[in-house]
Chains A and B, each alone.
Chain A
Amino acid sequence: MKIALTRRFYVALLVALVSAVIFKVSFFQEESEVYLFPSIVSIVMLVLSLVSLSREAYDLCIDDFQPFPFVRQIPAIVMMAGGVALVEVLGMYSSAFLVLLLASFWYSPHRATRHRLLQSLLFSGGFTLFIYLLFSVMLNVQVPRGVLI
């Protein structure tokens, strides 16, 4: 049989490489008892990923890939990462408010009008208040403060 260089083959190759890295960091350690269990796991993973690689190479698996969307997700990922980065600068509630406002405004299916902005503002304010009541008032969780709260 000829080796099939499908997308799935490259993914399996990547998985095998990751397993190899995990094996490398787990197995070659001095204190054996501390690393015993991770070493066992990494050996099993390496074997499994090699089996998977060989099966993909001969195209024995079902295609279970789904489309790989990037464009629409990137703003959301940036908003989440930015929100978390701002927590200790601005304070947890202010950054939550910003994330809510950005996400609800950006992904709104409707045209950007002043009316939409007002709606987003209302939603973000209301939800931040809800979060504040739930976590700070009811559950007494101490959240980080920054310049604001």
Chain B
Amino acid sequence: MNIMSRNRAGVLLGMALGLSMATSPALAEYPDRPISLTVAYGAGGATDFQARIVTMMSAKEDKKGNAVYLNGQPMVILNRPGAGGQVGWNRFVQRGKKDGYELAAYNVPHFIAQSIVFPGKVKYSVDNLEPIANWGADPAVLIVNKDSDFNSVQDVVDFARANPGKLTVSGAGLYVGHHIANLQFEKAAGIKTKYVPAGGGVKGMQFVLGGQTMAGFNNLSDAYRSRDRLKILGVADLQRSDFLPDVPTLKESGLEVDDSSVNFRGIMALKGTPDMALKVLAEKVPAMFNDKKVVKKMKAGGSPMRVLSREEVQAMWKERQAYLTELLKDLRKK
């Protein structure tokens, strides 16, 4: 037995050495292999579904067979859901390679707010990430069940004033756009609510539809799709939405709530990614978002698009960072 084993081991060692003779591939123009895109939310959620649409044309070739966007390389979606995006983004900044082949989808204000509230626990912030381009903007809307007694934002505010701490409001999670909207709502109306993080936008919607919570902040696109079962009372944005021209903004309803909670979605890289890669991405990715097929699918899916270039997103991040630091300064945890 022993001798036999030793023989086997020897033969196998020889095999292993022979195997390692192959060599690594040569460098070529960026990108020369598929790019991965980490999505910090589950498959089927709004971010995941939009990310899949906006990246679907990445490998597109024109009629002559020339690559249109990213050298004919596909973008592959990796879902890493958990804790409102913290799991996926933490992993992205801790384990991701800065070679331009590992990108992630961002959600603003989510990741900025989390980096402010949980410094130390959250490893990412605007300082170690590089925006590439923005594809969409989804404002938060205040919704109530169709059978609810609330018919306007004022009704909700009146109830909350008469019953402090009794108004339950659902949203996708903690320190995501919906939560920011609710914080601003509380501050502007001078009320106290019970915010219930539902664990996903769809779950938050379900709480309102099923009467588990009295009201909710949710994505405009999702609320728009369920509008026959809901009353949409107000939009947390600076102007009314094209999808819902009859719904007033919260500002029009007399509450000082601006567009800070609007959920911007886009693609980012790690700081330290080679300039050459960033340059290619900054030029090609917005063009890919504006592809006719992408625009058509996004429209069909009821997902509001807002394509912003790298410079525009950099400015937007900076501005949100400053505002959220101020809004969340009392909630900061060690």
Contacts and interface: CB of A to CB of B under 8 A. Distances in A.
A38 to B, nearest CB: 16
Most B CB atoms within 10 A — which of A98, A105, A142?
A142
B301 interface: no
A148 B76 contact: no
A56 to B, nearest CB: 38
B63 interface: no
A76 interface: no
Contact of A142 (B7, B15, B24, B34): B34
B11 interface: yes
B110 to A, nearest CB: 20
A140 B11 CA distance: 34
Nearest to A124: B15
Contacts of B315: none
Contacts of A101: 12, 15
B263 to A, nearest CB: 26
Interface residues of B, number: 17
Interface in B1-16: 4-5, 7-8, 11-12, 15-16
B84 to A, nearest CB: 14
B20 A147 contact: yes
B36 interface: yes
Contacts of B22: 148
Interface string A128-149: 0000000000001010000110
A138 B132 CA distance: 29
A80 interface: no
Contact of B11 (A97, A111, A117): A117
B11 A112 contact: yes
Nearest to A141: B76
A106 interface: yes
Nearest to A86: B16
B8 A106 contact: yes
A65 to B, nearest CB: 28
Interface in A92-106: 94, 97-98, 101-102, 105-106
B199 interface: no
A85 B225 CA distance: 48
Interface in A68-108: 90, 94, 97-98, 101-102, 105-106
Interface in B22-45: 22, 24, 34, 36
Interface of B: 4-5, 7-8, 11-12, 15-16, 19-20, 22, 24, 34, 36, 74, 76, 78
Given A106-B8, A112-B11, 4 more contacts: A94-B20, A117-B11, A142-B36, A148-B22
24 contacts: A94-B20, A97-B19, A98-B16, A98-B19, A101-B15, A102-B12, A105-B11, A106-B5, A111-B4, A112-B8, A112-B11, A117-B11, A140-B34, A140-B74, A142-B34, A142-B36, A142-B76, A142-B78, A147-B20, A147-B24, A148-B19, A148-B20, A148-B22, A148-B24
